[in-house]
Amino acid sequence: MFGLKKKAEPPKRSKLVVAAPLSGELIDLSSVNDGVFSKKMMGEGFAIKPENGRVLAPVAGTAVTVFPTGHAVGIRTKDNVDVLVHIGLDTVNLKGEGFKTLIQEGDEVRIGQPIVDFDQDVIEKNGFETTTMVVFTEGFKRPIKVNPKQVKAGDVLIQA
């Protein structure tokens, strides 16, 4: 009316909530024994040295990638933040042995929903580490500072 235009407001982003996908020791990504992760080539994130083999979704969203080997899952939030959960180091070489995916690509997942079960003994007996990385591959560029500590699966680690 009267030629006055209301300024368009940018779409509101919902709050990003990220929970620990496992119980164990929370560590900084730079402490991981893999250059790709420790140098943050894939993005910011954190890692957990797990106490058990049940992995929960760290965010709510859509499963966009579920590796056939079960060692990694990608979840996209409704605000287009892509989160990769990568179980172990070089565990792709196990070709799925010791991993059981509990979701499929395209599934909607809730924060805290079980997404993968893995057998720590199988991974370790084959000479691989079980350290699990959570990396923001798209849509989240802020630095993450981690204070090493014990966490429980489902503990909220990031609210942004």
Active site positions, annotated: 86
At residue 135, the 3 state secondary structure works out as strand
Whole-number Å distance between alpha carbons of 60 and 1: 41
Under 8 Å between Cβ of 136 and 52: no
Under 8 Å between Cβ of 21 and 134: yes
Under 8 Å between Cβ of 58 and 77: no
CB proximity list for 8: less than 8 A, separation 6 or greater:
none
